Amino acid sequence: MSRIYAISNQKGGVGKTTTAVNLASGLALQDQRVLVVDLDPQGNASSGLGHHKATVDAGIAEVLLGFEEPLDVILPTEIDGLHLAPASGRLVGLEVELVDTERREYHLQTALAKVADAYDFVLLDCPPALNMLTVNALTAAAGVIIPLQAEYYAMEGLSELLRTIAAVRKSLNPDLERTGIVLTMVDPRTNLASDVATQTRQVFGGEVFDVTIPRNVRLGEAPSFGQPIHTYAPGSRGAQAYHELADEVLIRAGVRSGSRTVAPAATTRRKRSQEAS
Ligand SMILES: Nc1ncnc2c1ncn2[C@@H]1O[C@H](COP(=O)(O)OP(=O)(O)OP(=O)(O)O)[C@@H](O)[C@H]1O
Ligand SMILES: [Mg+2]
């Protein structure tokens, strides 16, 4: 059975795509079959996994419009077991195109039902907006993972997202869960980061993942090489953090019980030696 998670926060630049790509590779390296669906017209998850949207003839937009079958647009990545339903240029106008369609909130759910059995996890990288693409993601998902940037205004806007989740649960997807909040871009040297972490845990308790994602130069560099952190810089702090997040997700998903594992070596077809940082 496949577990579908929306990675969502309408705030821009909080680490949604970084989390989608690197949680996906962390899960794939632990023998999970994973599909990343790029629902953001910016196409960052696609380029971060080696497929720039300019090179994609047909992607998830064409699937949602009923022009393509999901299986026909899914692409492999450098990591075994990690696949991508990419963004194409058509995703840019899709929001508007979907408005007049029947059952417009359910297109992604219907599409994923056709391929979900082939995957243990499906991660939906949402755009920075509470729009029809995000509503499609929340309607198709079993849970939401919310990346929260450890900065002063971190929780601002979160109530809007939580209200949207509640509204979707009420009318479109009663089983939708809040899987967890992941603190991103944490700089352990600043008081601000630990203040935000403490405050978030006070408000949301166990909903916050134990692991926090550090601000790490390698995480910022990896997308420009079209690679997840686990192949780009497997020894980095960022790689370890996303490995640990994958552990926690496996535990929350009920796939695994108990303690964390040691990070496995990444397998890559492209040789690139990178210093750990
Ligand atoms: N832990 C990190 N350490 C260093 N850089 C990071 C980290 N997480 C994300 N970044 C960088 O910060 C920027 C924003 O991250 P990302 O694209 O993942 O956010 P996003 O929420 O998907 O943005 P958008 O709302 O535009 O889709 C990117 O340049 C990314 O490489
Ligand atoms: Mg993004």
- Phi, then psi, of 96 in degrees rounded to 5: -70, -40
Tell me how many helices (H) and strands (E) the chain has.
Answer: 12, 7
Residue 14 alpha carbon to ligand 2 centre in Å: 8
Our mutation pick for probing the ligand 1 site, out of 17, 23, 212, counting the most ligand atoms within 8 A of Cβ, is 17
To the nearest 10°, the Cα dihedral for 157, 218, 220, 214? 10
53 CB near ligand 1 (under 6 Å): no
CATH superfamily, domain at 3-252: P-loop containing nucleotide triphosphate hydrolases (3.40.50.300)
Q: What would the pLDDT profile of 94-116 be if each residue is shown by its tens digit?
A: 988 998 899 999 999 999 999 98
Ligand at shortest distance from the CA of 223: 1
Predicted model pTM: 0.94
Cα separation values, 215 from 176, 186, 187, 223, 245, Å: 30, 5, 6, 15, 15
Q: Exposed, middle or buried by CB within 10 Å (0-12, 13-18, 19+), for 171?
A: exposed
DSSP state of 208: B
At residue 144 the predicted structure's pLDDT band, cuts being 50, 70 and 90, is: very high
Q: What would the pLDDT profile of 82-95 be if each residue is shown by its tens digit?
A: 999 999 999 999 98
Q: Which residue type occupies 81?
A: G
H or E element at residue 149? strand 143-149
Beta bridge partners of 184: 149
Average pLDDT of 40-69?
97
Give me the residue spans of the domains in the chain: 3-252
45 CB near ligand 1 (under 6 Å): no
